[in-house]
Amino acid sequence: MLSEGEKARVVSIEGGSGVRKKLTDLGIIPGKYIHVAYGGGGGPRVLVVDDTKIMVGQGMLHKIIVEL
């Protein structure tokens, strides 16, 4: 899982169609670069995707497969 300040490319999204649709609707799709603006520990993190900040909880974060 990414830590605060790290940037990575989304490789895939795991999970059911509902999770994939929600993340896709937020702009988190394979090939996009995301980075963690802030957050950590066991709580949600704020991701930046295309200059947009998005808060994502731990459950969904674990479904985003990235490549550093």
Each domain of the chain, given as residue ranges in start order, spans 7-67
What pTM, to 2 d.p., does this model score?
A: 0.90
* Adjacent-strand bridge partners of 67: 9
Which pLDDT value is given to residue 28?
Answer: 97
Fold assignment, 7-67: SH3 type barrels. (2.30.30)
Which pLDDT value is given to residue 43?
Answer: 87
Which pLDDT value is given to residue 22?
Answer: 96
Which pLDDT value is given to residue 55?
Answer: 95
Question: What are the tens digits of pLDDT across the range 31-64?
Answer: 999 999 998 778 899 999 999 999 999 999 999 9
Question: What are the tens digits of pLDDT across the range 12-23?
Answer: 999 999 999 999
d(CA 54, CA 34): 10
